[in-house]
C-alpha cells in the first residue's frame, strides 16, 4: 500500500478524533437545581437551596412572587395553600375561589407560616410520594428573594465557586391586575446584586410572552429565557404558547430572548402508547435563531412520559437533544451523569 496514502489517512483520522474531542470539550450543558434540592427537602426553603448548592449545579432556581406590602418572596405558586399552613393560621383569608394568595398577605404574615413538602390542599396528600414527609413540624420558612441572593453570594464567597441564580417571575399579568409590576421589581433587585448583565451568572425566566418581550425595556440586560408549555391555567395563554412552538413564534421571541425553554415533552414527544418518543425540530429551530435550548423537569422518582427511567431521560437530553441546560429536582444526579459521560 502507498505509504503516503496510509500516512495521510492516519493524519485525517487523528484530525477527526481531535475535532470530536474538541467538540466534547466545548459542550458543557448547564444543570439548574429546580426549586433547590426539591427531591429531598421542601421546595424553595433556604435549607433546600443550601443542599442544592452542595450538589454543585450551575444554577439554583428562584421562583418569585410578591406580597401585599411589595416584598419579593421565593415560592413556586402565587398561592400559599399547597405548601404552607396558611389555611390553619389564617382560615378566613381565602378568596372566593377558596385559594390563599401571597399578594393578600404582608411579609410579616407570610414569614409566620410554616413551609412543608408540597401537598394537595383538598386532600392533604403529598404531591410526590417517597419524598420528605408532609407536616413534620420542622420550622421551614418562606425566604425572601434578598435572603436567597445573599445565601448564594455568601456561599460563592466562602467556597470560591461561582454558582448562579435562575430567577423566574411568576404571573406578571396577575400582578399587573393587582397594580404591581413584579418584573420591574425583580430586575431592580437583581441589578442591585450585580446580576444584570450577560457576563453575570444569572438568568431571568418567564412564561408570559408579553413580559419576556418587554423585559429589555424595563432594564434587563442579561440572559433572558422564554419558558414554553401548552396547558390550560389562569393567566397562561395556551394559544400563545402553541404559537411559540411554531417557526414563526420561535423567530419572533428570539428578537429578545437568548434562551428557549420548552417543556421536555414538546421536543421529545411521547408516542401514543407512552412507551417511546420522537424528536421534533423545535430545538433545531431555536438554535437556528441564535437561542440556547434549556428544558425541564428531570425527576429521578418520576421519569418523563415515554422514558423507562431517569438515565433514559438524560441520554435523550444530552446525547440526542444536546440541551444547553436542564432543570432537575435531583441536580446531583445530573451532575454525576455528566461526569460519567465526560461532560464535567
CB neighbour class for 221 (10 Å; exposed up to 12, middle 13-18, buried from 19) = middle
Please report, for residues 34, 63, 267, 301, the alpha-carbon distance to residue 306 in angstroms, rounded to integers and kept in the order given: 21, 28, 12, 15
Write down the pLDDT at residue 244. Answer: 98
pLDDT in tens, 260-276: 999 999 999 999 999 99
236 is catalytic: no
Q: Where are the domains of the chain?
A: 28-80+143-340
Q: What does the pLDDT read at residue 21?
A: 46
- What mean pLDDT comes out for the span 89-110? 98
pLDDT at 23 (0 to 100):
42
* 202-244 per-position pLDDT tens digit: 999 999 999 999 999 999 999 999 999 999 999 999 999 999 9
Report the pLDDT value the prediction gives residue 24, as an integer from 0 to 100.
Answer: 53
Indicate if 71 belongs to the active site.
no
Say yes or no to pLDDT of 338 above 80. Answer: yes
Rounded to an integer, what distance in angstroms lies between the CA atom of residue 237 and that of residue 229? 10
Question: Residue 179 above 80 pLDDT?
Answer: yes
Least confident of 12-16, 92-96, 145-149: 12-16
pLDDT at 22: 42
User: At which residue does the C-alpha cell 424528536 appear?
Assistant: 279
Average pLDDT, the chain: 94
Q: What mean pLDDT comes out for the span 88-107?
A: 98
Which parts of 3-74 are beta strand (E)? 30-33, 59-66, 72-74
Q: Which of 44, 71, 76, 266 is catalytic?
A: 76
- Measured in whole angstroms, the distance separating CA 1 from the mean position of its chain's CA atoms is 57
- Whether residue 14 is predicted with pLDDT greater than 60 in this model: the reply is no
The structure's pTM equals 0.92
Q: Which position among 34, 71, 266, 298 bears the catalytic label?
A: 34
What percentage of the chain exceeds 90 in pLDDT? 92
Residue by residue, DSSP assigns 107-155 as HHHHHTSPB-S-B-TTT--BSSTTSSPS-------PPBHHHHHHHHHHH
157-177 pLDDT tens trace: 999 999 999 999 999 999 999
Residue 283: is its pLDDT beyond 70?
A: yes
Residue labelled with grid coordinates 417511546: 276
pLDDT 10s digits, 284-304: 999 999 999 999 999 999 999
Give residue 11's pLDDT band: very low, low, confident or very high (50, 70, 90).
Answer: very low
The model's pLDDT over 54-81, given as tens digits with 9 standing for 90+, comes to: 999 999 999 999 999 999 999 999 999 9
Provide the pLDDT for residue 2: 47
Q: What is the mean pLDDT of residues 17-29?
A: 61
Position 181 scores a pLDDT of 98
Architecture, CATH, for domain 28-80+143-340: Alpha-Beta Barrel (3.20)
Give the pLDDT score at 13. Answer: 42
**Which whole number is the average pLDDT over 180-184?**
98
Give the 3-state DSSP-derived string for 166-225, with helices as H, strands as E and coil as C.
EEEECCHHHHHHCCCCHHHHHHHHHHHCCCCCCCCCEEEEECCHHHHHHCHHHCCCCEEE
CA distance 80 to 78: 7
Amino acid at each position: 500500500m502507498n505509504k503516503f496514502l496510509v500516512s495521510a489517512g492516519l493524519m485525517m483520522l487523528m484530525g477527526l478524533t481531535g475535532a470530536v474531542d474538541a467538540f466534547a470539550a466545548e459542550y458543557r450543558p448547564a444543570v439548574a437545581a429546580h426549586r433547590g434540592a426539591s427531591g429531598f427537602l421542601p421546595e424553595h426553603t433556604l435549607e433546600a437551596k443550601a443542599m442544592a448548592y452542595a450538589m454543585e449545579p450551575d444554577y439554583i432556581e428562584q421562583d418569585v412572587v410578591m406580597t401585599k406590602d411589595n416584598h419579593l418572596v421565593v415560592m413556586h405558586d402565587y398561592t400559599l395553600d399547597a405548601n404552607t399552613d396558611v389555611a390553619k393560621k389564617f382560615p378566613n383569608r381565602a378568596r372566593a375561589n377558596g385559594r390563599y394568595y401571597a399578594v393578600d398577605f404582608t411579609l410579616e404574615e407570610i414569614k409566620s407560616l410554616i413551609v412543608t413538602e408540597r401537598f394537595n390542599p383538598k386532600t392533604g396528600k403529598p404531591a410526590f410520594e417517597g419524598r420528605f414527609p408532609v407536616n413534620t413540624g420542622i420550622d421551614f420558612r418562606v425566604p425572601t428573594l434578598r435572603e436567597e441572593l445573599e445565601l448564594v453570594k455568601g456561599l460563592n464567597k466562602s467556597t470560591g465557586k461561582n454558582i448562579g441564580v435562575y430567577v423566574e417571575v411568576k404571573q406578571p399579568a396577575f400582578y399587573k391586575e393587582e397594580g404591581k409590576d413584579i418584573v420591574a421589581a425583580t430586575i431592580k433587585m437583581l441589578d442591585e446584586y450585580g446580576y444584570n448583565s450577560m457576563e453575570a451568572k444569572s438568568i431571568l425566566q418567564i412564561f408570559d410572552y408579553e413580559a419576556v418581550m418587554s423585559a429589555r425595556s424595563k432594564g434587563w440586560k442579561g440572559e433572558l429565557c422564554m419558558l414554553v408549555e401548552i396547558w390550560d391555567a389562569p393567566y397562561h395563554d395556551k394559544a400563545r404558547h402553541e404559537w411559540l412552538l411554531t417557526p414563526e413564534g420561535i423567530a419572533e421571541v428570539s428578537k429578545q430572548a437568548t434562551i428557549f425553554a420548552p417543556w421536555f415533552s414538546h421536543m421529545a414527544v411521547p408516542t401514543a402508547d407512552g412507551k417511546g418518543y420522537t424528536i421534533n425540530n423545535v430545538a433545531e429551530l431555536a438554535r437556528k435563531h441564535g437561542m440556547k435550548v434549556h428544558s425541564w423537569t428531570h425527576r429521578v422518582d418520576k421519569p418523563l412520559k415515554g422514558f423507562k427511567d431517569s438515565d433514559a431521560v438524560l441520554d435523550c437530553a444530552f446525547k440526542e437533544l444536546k440541551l444547553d441546560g436542564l432543570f432537575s429536582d435531583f441536580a446531583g444526579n445530573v451532575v454525576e451523569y455528566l461526569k460519567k459521560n465526560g461532560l464535567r
